[in-house]
Amino acid sequence: MTEASTPPEPELKSLRDRPFELLAQLERRGRAVSAQVSQEEAAGREWVGVALRMAGDLYLVAREETREVLGVPASTTRVPGARSWIKGLANVRGQLLPIIDLRHFLGSGVTPVTRNTRVVVVN
């Protein structure tokens, strides 16, 4: 099949309300990219990541840098004098975690907390 006869790929943003189609499209794109990688480059090493969406943009975090993905903790304790993008500290299973609004830190505004908002715990 030539490139001219390949149907255009849908924009990922247009699939945000159809999660299964979004995952299928991401898989197709991933397979297309991996088909381009030579056997020599891929020998013995596979990159695995966690995808997240922030302010409409898609980001990838290396799996080895990600400890877990949580819902937003029910309560956080503000840190006096901290920057506005530091939301506070949360006690998660006996471990204190700093909660940082990465979107706010990057200058894209404060993250609205909804039932779909998640906290990514990184190493």
| CA distances (Å), origin 88, targets 12, 58, 73, 119 | 33, 25, 11, 13
pLDDT per position as a tens digit, 47-92: 889 998 887 888 888 888 899 999 999 999 999 999 999 999 999 9
CB 102 within 8 A of CB 57: no
Q: What is the mean pLDDT of the chain?
A: 83
Question: Domain residues of the chain, as ranges?
Answer: 3-46, 67-122
- CATH, range 67-122: 2.40.50.180
| CA distances (Å), origin 58, targets 50, 61, 86 | 10, 10, 22
Q: What is the model's pLDDT at position 100?
A: 92
For 59, the token pair is 């980001």
Q: What is the model's pLDDT at position 7?
A: 59
